[in-house]
């Protein structure tokens, strides 16, 4: 049951935050942030939690949430109630990640990868600052966006290298044998 609630939460967040972001920043920018978040979530999970399986869209959802936070930071002066948005996003993200961690370590069968949440959120913040539109550009915001983009590039490069160079780190997955016999 918890997995269904998690998937429903992902869909609600995609609709509640993704559509407003698309209306301001265009669909391709939000789509890029979402896809980068999915890949980053997968890479983060493979390094810090390789025994879990990923299904759903948590990395992309958290990338959209964090990109919304990047949008609030970059457009703080141009937004109404920016602090309310920042607090609401932080509350939702922290409560969901805390719930995933608690359920994971209470011995339940739920194996949701919280590492995918965190990596997706980090990617959304770092990429969102560069990809999303900044309504009034200040020099410090442009520098910050490029620093964030560089940090993301270094982290993603390290994650890809880790996955490529250390295959012995990952547990062997036990897959059921493929039966080619016809019935």
User: Active-site residues: which are they?
Assistant: 58, 117
Q: Is 18 exposed, middle or buried (0-12, 13-18, 19+ CB in 10 A)?
A: buried
* CB of 64 closer than 8 Å to CB of 17: yes
Distance CA 32, CA 37 (A): 8
The pair phi, psi for residue 180, each rounded to 5°, is -95, -5
**How far is C-alpha 171 from the geometric centre of its chain's CA atoms?**
24
Residue 83 exposure: Cα atoms within 13 Å on the Cβ side: 0
Calpha distance 142→157 (Å, rounded): 23
| Residues with Cβ within 8 Å of residue 70, at least 6 apart in sequence | 124, 125, 128, 129, 132, 148
d(CA 115, CA 24): 29
């Amino acid at each position: 049951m918890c997995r269904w609630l998690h998937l429903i939460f992902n869909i609600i967040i995609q609709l509640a935050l993704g559509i407003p972001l698309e209306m301001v920043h265009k669909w391709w920018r939000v789509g890029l942030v979402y896809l980068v978040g999915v890949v980053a979530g997968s890479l983060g999970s493979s390094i810090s939690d390789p025994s879990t399986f990923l299904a759903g869209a948590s990395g992309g959802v958290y990338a959209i949430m964090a990109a919304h936070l990047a949008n609030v930071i970059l457009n703080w002066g141009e937004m109404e109630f920016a602090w309310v948005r920042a607090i609401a996003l932080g509350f939702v993200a922290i409560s969901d990640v805390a719930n995933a961690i608690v359920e994971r370590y209470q011995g339940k069968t739920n194996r949701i990868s919280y590492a995918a949440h965190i990596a997706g959120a980090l990617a959304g913040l770092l990429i969102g600052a560069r990809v999303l539109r900044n309504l009034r550009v200040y020099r410090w915001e442009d520098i910050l966006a490029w620093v964030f983009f560089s940090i993301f590039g270094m982290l993603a490069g390290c994650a890809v290298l880790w996955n490529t160079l250390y295959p012995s780190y990952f547990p062997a997955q036990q897959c059921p044998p493929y039966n080619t016999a016809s019935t």
